[in-house]
């Protein structure tokens, strides 16, 4: 059985941190323009483990890379795995921070970090643009996290993907909103942004505009009720869609703040 904390950390490092790239390129590159000329790295790690990833700003580009940077500008080091989970899920945990002499770098990056707060369940913006961004970030995170559940050793997810041929599970906001997908094939999985164009989806969950998507992805409206209310239209097997929905709930539970 996969360790719950390690699964959560995997999702944080590989599904949440990459959202910095989405934020960086949003609003016609507003963050990118604001951070023009900024070069440096910000490392996140758990002491004594290989659980680590870092943000690298270089020549106007942002990369999110797994592993340890040899000389990060700023290093957030967590004493134990549970501290990293708490820090990223709204709990209370303070890492040790080295490189504070580069405080100017951290201050310039603060707006980018604040953007991730949109993912928090209690963050319910009224502005349509921020609502759309919350939907996009959530959609990208969830499809990636589904793949990480499989790659991270969740037994139920592994068994579900193992028995399937090449299938696409597509999410999209209609008529022309953000989209993301999960591809599974014989135990392997991969997520991506946009509409998968090389084959017809096995499951396609189509949200009825921003309002429909927001009710399900941000306000956690049950999918069955959302379908009854025409917030969601489903094409494909309801049975498989239901199983995928249960895995999405599992991810949500992993990322809920500890009480």
* pLDDT tens sequence across 132-190: 999 999 999 999 999 999 999 999 999 999 999 999 999 999 999 999 999 999 999 99
Rounded CA separation 43/97 (Å): 10
Q: Topology of 128-254 in CATH? A: Nonspecific Lipid-transfer Protein; Chain A (3.30.1050)
Rounded CA separation 56/25 (Å): 15
pLDDT at 100 (0 to 100): 65
Query: CATH topology of 4-119 equal to that of 128-254?
Result: yes
Which residues, in sequence order, are CB contacts of 195 under 8 Å at separation 6+?
A: 170, 172, 179, 181
Q: What is the 3-state secondary structure (H, E, C) of 163-191?
A: CCCCEEEEEEEECCCCEEEEEEECCEEEE
The mean of the pLDDT values for the chain is: 90
Reported confidence tier of residue 258, pLDDT bands at 50, 70, 90: low
Structural tokens at position 185 = 């094939």
Structural tokens at position 202 = 């096995």
- Tell me yes or no: is domain 4-119 CATH 3.30.1050: yes
Rounded CA separation 95/253 (Å): 23
Instruction: Judge contact between 106 and 35, C-beta under 8 A.
Output: no
* pLDDT tens sequence across 95-133: 898 886 677 777 777 788 888 889 988 899 999 999 999
Answer yes or no: is pLDDT of 259 > 70: no
pLDDT at 24 (0 to 100): 87
Best CA proximity match to 39, nearest among 90, 105, 95, 99? 105
Rounded CA separation 173/66 (Å): 30
* pLDDT tens sequence across 195-222: 999 999 999 999 999 999 999 999 888 8
Domain ranges of the chain: 4-119, 128-254
pLDDT at 257 (0 to 100): 62
pLDDT at 30 (0 to 100): 74
């Amino acid at each position: 059985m996969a360790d719950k904390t390690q699964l959560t950390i995997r999702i944080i490092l590989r599904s949440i941190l990459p959202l910095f790239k989405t934020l960086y390129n949003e609003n016609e590159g507003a963050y990118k323009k604001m951070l023009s000329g900024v070069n440096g790295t910000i490392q996140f790690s758990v002491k004594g483990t290989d659980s680590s990833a870092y943000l690298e700003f270089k020549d106007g580009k942002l990369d999110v890379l797994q592993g340890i940077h040899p000389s990060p500008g700023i290093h957030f080091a967590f004493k134990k795995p549970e501290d990293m989970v708490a820090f990223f899920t709204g709990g209370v945990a303070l890492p040790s921070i080295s490189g504070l002499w580069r405080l100017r770098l951290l201050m310039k990056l603060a707006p980018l970090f604040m953007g991730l707060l949109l993912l928090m369940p209690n963050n319910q913006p009224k502005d349509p643009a921020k609502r759309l961004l919350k939907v996009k970030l959530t959609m990208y995170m969830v499809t990636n996290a589904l793949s990480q559940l499989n790659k991270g050793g969740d037994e139920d997810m592994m068994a579900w993907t193992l028995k399937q041929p090449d299938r696409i599970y597509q999410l999209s906001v209609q008529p022309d909103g953000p989209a993301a997908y999960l591809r599974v094939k014989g135990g392997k999985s991969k997520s991506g942004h946009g509409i998968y164009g090389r084959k017809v989806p096995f499951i396609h969950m189509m949200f009825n505009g921003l309002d429909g998507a927001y009710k399900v992805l941000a306000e956690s409206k049950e999918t069955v009720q959302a379908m009854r209310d025409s917030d969601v239209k489903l094409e494909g097997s309801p049975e498989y869609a239901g199983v995928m929905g249960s895995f999405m709930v599992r991810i949500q539970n992993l990322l809920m703040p500890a009480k």
